[in-house]
Structure 1
Amino acid sequence: MADRVRVAVLISGRGTNMAALLYAAKREDCPYEIVLVAANDPEARGLTLAAAEGVPTFAQSHKGMERSEFDAILDREIRKAGADYVVLAGYMRILSDDFVGKWAGRLLNIHPSLLPKYPGLDTHRRAIDAGDTVSGCTVHLVTPALDEGPILGQTEVAILPGDTPEKLATRIRLAEHQLYPRVLEELVTRERDPDWIVAKVGELAMELPEVAAKSSHGSPGWRIATSKSGKFFAYVSIRHHGEDAISLLVKTSGPDEQAALIEAEPDIYYKPAYYGPSGWIAIRLDRPNVDWEHIANWLRKSWSFVAPKKLQPMAEFLG
């Protein structure tokens, strides 16, 4: 499958969830590939499996190192591998806030409970002692707060009479191996889904003052809503005019800025077929690692180009 999303996996031990992700990636239509398995323990058994399956590995002990220093080494190796996402699969170290911030929205973890119940360790014993009849596992985005990131998927697992933590852990691990590859596939493909892209752009556009959503010539668009004839400042072009791209169209200051952007980053910017002669720029959105803060900045800038005088004082505030 062409243009697979590149994933790095961090482990500390056996790497059974890493193995589940790796074998799912062998499916011909899987949208991701494992490009690195890294461990904070050179003796982690999962490294042997990854190497045997032809996946590049990296290992270094964290002992005697500052957390930020070790995480900087990890970050360097992950970027060297060209990874778009980082997946924690039994990685038994808390990551530094700096590392988490660098991979915000692209850093996943799987936890053996139905979060928000039982964050942290000893989850199976805690669920059994509480008299719960159901436990399970959760895949979530990683944030600086431990096990509190947005939940992407969960699977429930029944707690049986007489269960021990070890027996429950075995069944939950089976559920993890099913859940993790599925959720990862959903996450890496959503940013190429036109509906998700339009919703994301719309969310950012509607944060600006006096904005209304309105389609134009079949394209979702956003305009200044102070009058019926309010000018458009953004569109999402979904493979229109023969272009093989899903892109945000926004106004630039003119042809010079448009040309400079395209020359500097031709993989991101291009001159749209219909709006290009008017100085608009197209920014590709159907690609990995879209910087949505960058997109929000472009929306604010384009809004300021078309906002009427009575709204212009807000442009300085927005910037």
Structure 2
Amino acid sequence: MSRTPVAVFISGSGTNMAALLYASRADDCPYEIALVLSNNPDADGLRLAAAEGVATFALPHQGMKRAEHDAAMEAQVLQAGAQAIALAGYMRILSPGFVARWEGRMINIHPSLLPKYTGLHTHERALAAGDSHGGCSVHLVTAELDDGPLLGQTAVAILPGDTADTLAARVLIAEHQLYGRCLAALVSQCSSPASLIDNVRERALALPEADEVVSHGMPCFGVIKGKKFAYVSNDHHGDGKVALLVKISGIDEQLQLIENDPARYYRPAYFGNDWIAIRLDLGDTDWDAIGEWLARSWRAIAPRRLAAMLDF
């Protein structure tokens, strides 16, 4: 079973990191922890990760600009081959550029039932409000603090006489159960053929007068009653790959792309020299670039009256 490498960012004890790590030891877990990073070299979680045989990296943020620190951490994530990021008690607000680059692939866990109580002191605020339940939420990370789309929640009853500490202890148990399930679901969805095809479909059908049919057993996109500009190959002829097939300028470009990145690009079987296959199942697909490939391929076959529409 191929597992998605994940990087975990921590600042302290790393109990949620540990929960993710131990969940990853299950035979059917779709992710593995490739790297644990911290802005605090003294974080206890780093020692635990190292003892469990997981690579670690620490870089204090003091004296560094936020984007500079994020870039240095990201370089380590990429070097480790991680395809997703889990924030687990990472006490730093991330720069917008970093967040944008990992859109849809970075998650966080927060100790409240969002959208209630973003930020700090969540348990105190739940108690002060007289809530019947506290809890935890896992969400995708966006530029707005604790505001990304929810992936899962667990409610935890508030008992008579609870303090912030006693409530926090029970919520932490719920966090440890919830986070691994949500991370597993996210990486499975991101790498599933259906999800990859849906991402292509969304971008292809946004082009003027584009439609979808099935051709040679593959989803195929073209101009209505016209030529085709893209196919999605899913284990076609048993090759085990999910790839986008688009038109290019010819064999010189085809050979150059394959030479520069043979893991990502290949010559699609039964297609001519003016097509290239782009792997979508490597875990690091740049969907903005895929949108550009689709638009370029669409232009190659679209009538002039339509091509002019895309330029305005």
- Scaled by the length of structure 2, the TM-score of the pair is 0.94
Deviation track 1:194-235 (CA, whole Å, cap 9, x = no partner) reads 21112111111121111122222321122212xxx3222111
Structure 2 Cα separation of the partners of residues 213 and 158 of structure 1 = 49
Change (3 A) 1:126 1:201: same
Tell me if structure 1 keeps the 8 A contact 2:208–2:310: no
Q: Which amino acid aligns with 1:138?
A: S
Deviation track 1:215-268 (CA, whole Å, cap 9, x = no partner) reads 22321122212xxx3222111111112322111111112222222222221111
Structure 1 Cα separation of the partners of residues 162 and 205 of structure 2 = 51
Q: Which residue of 1 aligns with 2:22?
A: 23
Question: How far is 1:278 from its partner?
Answer: 5.7
**Map 1:27-106 → 2, pairs under 5 A:** 27-106=26-105
Structure 2 Cα separation of the partners of residues 48 and 263 of structure 1 = 42
Structure 2 Cα separation of the partners of residues 286 and 164 of structure 1 = 47
Q: Which amino acid aligns with 1:252?
A: I
Q: Which residue of 2 aligns with 1:110?
A: 109
Equivalent of 1:311 in 292, 306, 309: 306
Q: Which residue of 2 aligns with 1:287?
A: 282
Q: Which residue of 2 aligns with 1:273?
A: 269
**Map 1:128-139 → 2, pairs under 5 A:** 128-139=127-138
Q: Which amino acid aligns with 2:135?
A: G
Change (3 A) 1:242 1:56: closer
Tell me if structure 2 keeps the 8 A contact 1:5–1:33: yes
Structure 1 Cα separation of the partners of residues 256 and 62 of structure 2 = 48
Q: 1:55 is paired with a residue of what secondary structure?
A: coil
Q: Which residue of 2 aligns with 1:158?
A: 157
Q: Which residue of 2 aligns with 1:238?
A: 234
Change (3 A) 1:144 1:252: same
Q: Which residue of 2 aligns with 1:214?
A: 213
Structure 1 Cα separation of the partners of residues 44 and 141 of structure 2 = 24
Question: How far is 1:37 from its partner?
Answer: 1.4
Tell me if structure 1 keeps the 8 A contact 2:123–2:164: yes
User: How many residues in Structure 1 have an aligned counterpart in Structure 2?
Assistant: 312
- Scaled by the length of structure 1, the TM-score of the pair is 0.92
Deviation track 1:95-130 (CA, whole Å, cap 9, x = no partner) reads 222322333322211111121111101111212222
Give RMSD over aligned pairs: 1.8
Tell me if structure 2 keeps the 8 A contact 1:191–1:287: no
Structure 1 Cα separation of the partners of residues 64 and 222 of structure 2 = 52
Question: How far is 1:44 from its partner?
Answer: 1.3
Percent identity, aligned pairs only?
57
**Bigger Cα displacement from structure 2, 108-117 vs 155-164:** 155-164
Change (3 A) 1:305 1:54: same
Structure 2 unaligned regions, length at least 5 = none
Structure 2 Cα separation of the partners of residues 72 and 309 of structure 1 = 43
Structure 1 Cα separation of the partners of residues 69 and 297 of structure 2 = 41
Tell me if structure 1 keeps the 8 A contact 2:254–2:273: no
**Bigger Cα displacement from structure 2, 178-187 vs 79-88:** 79-88
Q: Which residue of 2 aligns with 1:142?
A: 141
Change (3 A) 1:64 1:272: closer
